[in-house]
Structure 1
């Protein structure tokens, strides 16, 4: 990989050869970050060359990715998700411009497909035949789908609270699913022990540095879809920290390679009932574990596994931290619905955070904002109904329809 220099520990700074199966730092056990040769990237790719490419997937950015040039690509089309300007919603939220990046249209309906597609490529490079991970749901289903399409076996650990829609995906994709009767922390610990015991390829994003490289492609797309003119802010829902870390890594790579001339400020959005990272930033102290008390299961991570990269991303981008209630998340689901975007609770949390940041005066009214929707509402139909309400239910009689319309304010 001529574009990759090494894998660098974010804790002690030790550098390692970027081998396909590398996970944590061999010196101190810290999390690794992939280091690129930006001079080489600039010599191989320009914005004009990129814009002329026909490959509408995350692999259009191959010069920015840690993959062998001769390796095969996953069978599913991941990335190049829709990017909408939401003018009416921007007015309602009180910002100058609002863009929605809808990653819920990826093959298994979440941004996590970007990480799992990368995991499949690196597992193939490492010569593995089985991939495993723990997940609150989306990473699990994305791994199961992408691995199934590529012919890999999977073992996936989920906490028992994982929504049935996500578990159904896992089972349909043929994964070996272990539902753990405990928290996400319990689930992660058991998966780590199993991965060590059987030597499976590790897809856990907080352990495997390549997974963040897949996630960062959402930022590469946002920049290109904005014609390289960045919005002032980018809102991201935050759980274990891998996604916001990846989002910032993508923008920083583009900046270092000369593709954009400024970095956006991040809006880190967590649920009020589970916000260890935002609380650490707001209070200026080390993060501490919290209970996982929110309906937004995808960001219900009381013990984040990638806190360093997440906190670095927030601080280095001069970011804003916002905590939102479950009711505010449900309201944001309805707001996104007015734009034709169906988001799961965690997917809508970013937009809920934009609204609250404006209300609290954390971002100005003339700001331009991109909000990333990380997952489809079909992932969690129960909470979607909770947000939107039940339909009108009547027998097939016109007089009853008229009565129902009188009660609900329907047509006269």
Structure 2
């Protein structure tokens, strides 16, 4: 049996627990990761993970955990010891050797406290070997222990290191974000002002037409009034000529009344238009400093490819710079839950996987992490914590903890003689 052959059983196991309870969505992510490993095996490394099979799926006839595998190989190193301090020291020595060999190492442990202790042991080992541990070690999660023995573990946390590494970039990104936010703040204001200016221009055009019509009407009224004033003094032939075209005193009075009504209508409409103009003026007004600021921001955003592109840059920049930083660190300490739950680990591969307190890491998580290691796996823990091999509903016998909802119970310690 190979590690790849275990995947269908592990997928069914995770699916059963996922149906029972998965409020955080972590089991769904683990399920997706295992499915991805099953359908895209070329993206993962199974050769080193295959060496785990004698330990995780042993022959049921082997009852002694230490005898599950007697094959000595450089691909899988086991550090089985009931003394935690002793196996931590050996694990730290392996870390030092791998760092000296310029290997990229993933160090995992079942919980944050155990991981912090393993990271501290690795830092002490590197310091004892005369190496700058800050340059090689990185803890992805906040440490449980702040400092010990002159080693400040907070300096090894990913957030602290990446903040220092990307200080200028973060400042630039913050400036770009402020520009985008200001642009998005001004854009609707300027659009609103532009719409109001358009309305104002239309009302002003209406005002001009009303004033023109009012002027023409007043001119006609004045002409008719002047004509009525001199009508009696006009020569007879001229009055007869005017009457032929229907222009006499009676019709001139009627026309004056019509023009007066038209004049009043124009004045009423003009009053409404001018009131609307007075309303629109402050709404359409743009401060002298606002438009240049907006145009400068607009040109900058357009130069960078538009709002959508800038948003994409702001969203992706953190991961695209976090990823090379993670890849540059020689030893990354992280819990398996983070490896599966954080998408940034999906594309990172390591030369070696170091597992502290291995029997306390559920098998689906162990296999998922093991397939990220190309060359070597170092498995450390107390062999007495390994459960005996037993059949499962998934068609395989397993001798490794599988429950993702509760940690494996520590074995009962033998009574002193």
Question: Would you call these one fold, judging by a TM-score over 0.5?
Answer: no
With normalisation by structure 1, the TM-score equals: 0.26
More helix, by proportion: 2
Q: Which has the higher contact order (CA 8 A, sep 6+)?
A: 2
More strand, by proportion: 1
With normalisation by structure 2, the TM-score equals: 0.25
